Amino acid sequence: MIRFLSVVGTLLLVAAVGAQNAATINIGVYTAAQSERGELKYLRNCRECHERNLMGGGYDDIPPIKGDEFLSNWTSWSVGDVFDFIETEMPPKEKDRVGIEPLDYADILAYILSQNGYASGQEELPPDFDLLAEIEMAPPPAAP
């Protein structure tokens, strides 16, 4: 019984340390310059459906990519999941994705994150699912 409790304790400690090392989006995962580039790319590729204010609506009941609905849809996922979704599904018609490179999607995601209250940091958001999958989505910090 003591050995069992020791093993369980060790496993809990490993899990706690792992959780402390998990990166969240609130560490600043994109740069301000990347968000600025992303805004231009957003306007070119996303505005038609999601509107200038990112609130969607319009035809086909396009969902917002800013605010509570967006955040509630994605906070239990990783940044990699969000990146993968927009890279493989947006725009909805495959022919409209021609010419949009992975770096473009990373820039657009940086802009979307900035518009949702996530702070910028020192490193650009990489266009790499595996790296981004290590970053947990979380609610943005409360505004001061």
Supply the CATH number for residue 87's domain.
1.10.760.10
Structural domain harbouring 47: 28-136
In a domain, 40, yes or no: yes
Is the pTM for the entire model greater than 0.85? no
Residue 82, pLDDT > 60, answer: yes
How far apart are the C-alpha atoms of 74 and 98, rounded to whole Å? 26
In a domain, 16, yes or no: no
In a domain, 3, yes or no: no
The per-residue pLDDT of the chain, averaged, comes to 85
In a domain, 2, yes or no: no
In a domain, 4, yes or no: no
Q: Determine the pLDDT at residue 75.
A: 87
In a domain, 99, yes or no: yes
pLDDT digit string, tens, across residues 56-70? 986 678 999 999 999
pLDDT digit string, tens, across residues 20-53? 445 889 999 999 999 999 999 999 999 999 999 9
In a domain, 11, yes or no: no
Query: Domain count of the chain?
Result: 1
How far apart are the C-alpha atoms of 36 and 33, rounded to whole Å? 5
Residue % of the chain over a pLDDT of 70: 82
In a domain, 117, yes or no: yes
Looking from the CA of 107 toward its CB, the CA atoms found within 13 Å total: 18
Q: Determine the pLDDT at residue 141.
A: 83
Structure-block tokens of residue 29 = 């995962």
Among the ranges given (55-59, 76-80, 116-120), the one the predictor scored with the smallest mean pLDDT: 55-59
